[in-house]
Structure 1
């Protein structure tokens, strides 16, 4: 009787578990059936790897629905259209944004709605004609879409690194390092000469500084001489020029006013030239006659010797 009692107890608990499961399923179905849904299409212009039917739809991280269908856009197969249903009590507004987020570490993706200001109008989600909401590219989707390009560039980088580290280049690098070592040893060997050269440079710098100080002092003295000696002379010259300027202006005015008279006077002076020459000759003859008269008064007056003209 005892084994039969155990079987009865096990059967009873089994029936109770099945009944509880059926009741939970009925409650869940009734709860799901009581929920009113709004339907939308989310458009993606990039690959949606990891997104599948039945994946959750989130609003700011809270589950509000599921992905019901995934299709390619008929006008452009590179674009994807995801049909989603969300709880109608959650307002999907005109400025609400949609995008992909990673659901777990396995790579499964979910659609997430964010944003939506209260003053923006609500978009009604009609099952027969669901409105289209264009998804924003997410960081994860960009990373996934660009992963192939990144891998290609990484492969090119590795190839360039291999070329850089080829045997010829390694030999060249080894030669450069050897030359650097030899140059360093030569510098160490000539350290005393370098120190002496640096001392000479230091001494030359000191002498250059002293010469610069002397030149600066000479320049200061020259500036003082110019300020004390030349500047007063220049001021006096400037004053004299300013004093003579009215006289020069007056002479210019007189020359302009009497230009015609001056021209006529100069012409008259030119015409006096022949008369003056004749007068000079006459004076010479008179001077000769006077000397003869002094030497021989009577003979000269009696006309014994005719008057002769002497010309120099």
Structure 2
């Protein structure tokens, strides 16, 4: 019986060894397949990109999600400082092939609510931009933009600086000397207002006088207007008289010219007759000198002159 029992024990040990060996080999195969699948299985389905951040990446972790307008398109596979510029952080992203990553796509850090966990958000502004591709074998780089918290922090810092400057200027403006000057200005303004109130009655009287003066001036302008109308009428009368005198002078001149012309014509005729008479008288005197007896007896005949027939 002891031999039978020992034989059964040996067979049981062999079966456990075979089962254990099979389990070990199966587990190793599964682990190896999983490693291969994780390392090489999805290389054709994802494209590697890089993003350089100038702000803190606190809240981001390896395997953090990469979203394109809220849709999961990849993961963050690596985060490290840039050796040449430690102020920047280099992120390596694996993004699903076919995602519309273009030259104008921008990456920024977003956070899930109040948990503090971050992810990368991708946004593009134009569908006509060319696709972002690798050049000279280098990994393509997606440009980054500041996150909302970074912009808020920058805005608050700038606001704090400007507030400090404004408070400093207000402090300079409200120093003791300026406060005293301001107090004096208020006192003088109070005195000026009191004096203006006293002069209000005089100002009212002055305004009333000004109204009366304006009425008188208006009446004077009306009288001047009437006088101007009279002057205008007189000027028209003078003009009419002048026109009549001109017409009368012209008519008188024409009549005088006509009469003088007649007088000159008669005077010319008279002068011609006087010339004829003087020639005849001269001829008679010559004849008398030649034959004085002819004046009584008419005996002699005058000698013919040159070119006359006897």
TM-score (norm 1): 0.48
TM-score (norm 2): 0.48
Greater radius of gyration (CA): 2
